[in-house]
Structure 1
Amino acid sequence: MDLSAGHVWVMISAALVLLMTPGLAFFYGGMTRAKSALNMMMMSFSAIALVAVVWVLWGYSMSSGEGVAQLFGNPLAAFGLESLLNTEDLIGAGYGATFAIITVALISGAIADRAKFGAWVVFVPVWVTLVYCPLAFMIWGGGLLGADGAIGAWAGEAIDFAGGTVVHINAGVAGLILALILGKRKGFGKDPAQRPHNIPLVMLGAALLWFGWFGFNGGAAATTEEAGLIWVNTMAAPAAAMLGWLVIERVRDGRPTSLGAASGVVAGLVAITPACANVSPVGAVGLGLVAGVLAALAVGLKYRFGYDDSLDVVGVHLVAGLVGTLALGFIALPVEGVGGGLFYGGGFAQLWAQTVAAAVSVVFCAVLTVLIGLAIHKTIGFRVTEEQEVTGVDLTQHAESAYEFGGLGTGGTFIPHPATDRSAHNAGARSAIKEEVNA
C-alpha cells in the first residue's frame, strides 16, 4: 500500500496533537504553585500512558464501529487493534488516541494542588472508558447524536468538527464535578501563594498548545480548500480571543497580563475547535473575540459560586466550548446549497441541533463523572490530607521537587523523603520539612 500525502498529513497531525499534552503540562505546571508543579505535569504525562494503553486495547473499538444501543462501540470489535493490522485504519486509530489523551489531561487542572496521584491513575482509564469513548461514538461514530441516531434524527445533526462537545465541554464538566467532589484548597481565594508560580512556563505551554492545535483542527481536513480555511481560522480565533481577554483585564483590573494573554489564546482555540471548518475567517475573528471576553469574565465565577477550579478549566474549556458549539447555530456557513446558521438564512435548525448536542454532552458527562468521582473518593480517597497539601503534593506524592532551594526536595531521585517515608513517624521531622517548604 502506497503512503499518500493525506496519510502523511494525518500522521503529522497526530504527532502535533500528542505534543499538545506535554504543552499542557507546561501550561498547567506554570499556573500552579511551585510545590505542586511536578505533580501537575505528571498528571498530564500519566494521561498519555494510561489512555494510550486503554485506546489500543478497547478504547478505539468503543469509539467507533459496531454500536451497542447507539451509545458506544463494541469493545471487542477491534480489541488490541488486531483487526486493523495491514490497513490504513491504524493511522486514524492513532490520531483518535491523541484526542482522548488531551481530553483527560485537561481535567486535571481543576483539581491541582490537592489530588492523590494514585486516585488520578484510577480515574483516568475508568473515565475515558465510560465517558469519553461513548460520547465520541455518539457524536463521531454514528451513535445517538449522529445523523442516523435517535437524537440526531430528531433534533438534527450537530456540527463538531474537532471536539467542542467531545473534548472541551466534556473536560470542562468533568473538571467542575471533580472540583466540587474534592472541595476547596486550604486558603482558597485568600492565599496569595496560590497564584501561578512560573508565567514563562505558562507562555511556553500556550505556544506549544497553539502549535499543536493546527494538527488538532486540521488533521481531518478532506480537501486542500478545507485545510486552508481551518489553518486560517485556527490562527485568527485565538488571536482575537487574546485581544478580547486583554481588553477585559484592562477595563476590569487596570492592566493586561501575560497570563491573560496565554489564557485568551487557549479560550480562542477551544472556541474554534468545533467550528474550524464551518465558519468564515471573519466569523472566526468574531467567535474568538466573544470567547475571549466571556471566558475572561467566567473565570471569576468560581469565587462568586465557591467552587475551587484551580486552573480555570471550567471558565476556559467549558465556557469557550459552549460558545464555539452554540455559535455554529448562528454563523455556520451554508454547505452545497444547504442552509447554514441563522445569520446565513438557515433558520433555527442548526442552532437547535447544536443546543441539543451540548445539553446531552453536559448531562451525560456530569452524571457519569459524579458516579466515578464519588466511587473513588468514598473508597481510596481522591484528596490528599491537609498536612500533605500544605507540605506540597510534589513531595508527598512523588518525593520530588521541581526546584532545588537550599537542598529541599530530592532533585529528581527516588530516595525516600521524611515527608513521605512510611517509616518516618517523627512529628518533629515532618514539622521541620513543612517549615522549610513554606519558607
Structure 2
Amino acid sequence: MSEIVFAAGIINLSVSFWLLRKAGLTVIFVQIWWFFWLFLSTFSLTGLFSPSKDAIWLYILMLTSVTAGILIHNLAFRYFDKSGFVSFQESTEELDRSREKALEKIIVYFLFPIVLFFFFKAIYLMSTSVAPVDYRADVFGLRTGKSVLFESPKVGILYSIFVSPLLLASLFIGAGVYLTKGRLKVFAMACLLIGLDAFMMLGRFGFHYIIMLSFFLILGGAAIDWKKGLSVFSWRVLSIGISVILVILLIGYLRENRLGLAFDRFFKLFLLDYHTMSFSIFDKELHDPNSILHHWTYGRSSLAGLEKVFIYFGRFIGIPVDPQADVIGAYLHEYKTVGMGANGRFISYNAFGSVMFGLYRDGGPIAISIFSILYGFVSAMASRSLEKQSLFGSSILASLFFIGIYGLFQPVLSGPILLAVVAILILFKRNFSSPKKEI
C-alpha cells in the first residue's frame, strides 16, 4: 500500500498547489504532513503494526476530500467572489489595532495572573510533595482521582473552558498579527504563556505548539512574499528553537527520571512512534466490532469541544450527562496492543486516536468526506485572505493549521481548539476602537 499512498500524495499535492499556488503553502504542508507519516506507517519501522488497506483508504479519502474542498472553493471564488460568501471580509487598520490592544489586556490582566499562579504552584509541588516522575499522572488525578494542581474538579473545568482556549486564540491571533502587521509582541507573550502552561502540566505538546506555529509563520510569510518567509530565520529564532528542544528533553528527564531514556524516547518514540501510532490505533479500533468507534454520534464527536461546555454547565445544575470529549478521552486512555518490538514483546500505547477517530464516529466515510471538504474549503478561503494580509483570515488559518497538524496525534476537535476559534470570532465581532468625538 505504500505505493498507493505515495501516488495519492503526489496527485493531491499537485492539484492543491495548482489551485492555490504559493497562497496555499500552509494547507499544502498539512497534506504533506499527513501523507508523509501515513507513508512511513506502512513500513512498520519501530514494530508498530502497519494499518490495513481499509484504514489507509479512509485516510486517503479524508485527504482527497480536503483537496476537493479546495477545488470547490476555487470554483466558487471564480464565480461568486463578489458576493463575499467565499472570502473573509477585510477590516481597517484602526479596528485591527484596537482588537490587538484588547487582546494584550486580556493576556496581561487575565491570562498571566492565572497561569503564573498555577505555574508557581506546580514548581512548589514538584519541589516539596510530589516527585516529578509522578507529577504528570497526579496533575490529571490518574492515581488518586483528584488533580494535585487544580484540586477541585470545577476549577479544572473552568480552566479548560476559559483559559486554555484563550491561550490558543492568543497564539493564533499573535501569529496573524505578525504576518499582517509585522508586530511580534502578542505572539511572543502567547508563546511564553503556552510554555508556562505546558511546564506546569509537565507536558511536551505546548512546546511543540510553539515550534509548529513558528514554522507556520515561515510558511505564511512565504505565501505573502518569499523574502518575508526567509526573514523569519535569525540567530535569535534559532536560539529560541534550541532552547525549546532542550526544555522538551528536560521534561522528558523529569517524567522518566533517567536522562538516557529521555534521549532514547526523543528519537524513537517522539520522532517515529508518536507520529505513526494513531494509524495503528485507528486500524485496531476499525476492525474491533465492540469498539465505540462504531457507535455513531452524528456530529457530536467532531463538535465535542463545544458540546462539553453546555454539558459541564448542565452538571452544575444537576443534569448528569457525559460529554463525548470525556467518553472518547476515557476510552482512548486505555492501553491497546498496536505492535511488537524487536525483543518479541508487544507494544502498547494509549491516547493517540487522531482526528479520524471522531470523524468516523460521526458517520463513517460520509462524515469523513463532509468535514474534510469543509476543512479544505475554509482553509482555501483563509489562504486567499492571507494574500490580502487580513488579520482575521490569518488568525483563522493559524487555527486550521493547528487542527491539521495536531489532528494526527489526537481527536483534536475534542479539545480547546473549537472554543479558541469561538474566542477569535467574538474578538473580531466586537468594535474596540474609541468612537470619534464630533467637533
TM-score, structure 2 normalization: 0.25
Greater relative contact order (Cα < 8 A, sep 6+): 2
TM-score, structure 1 normalization: 0.25
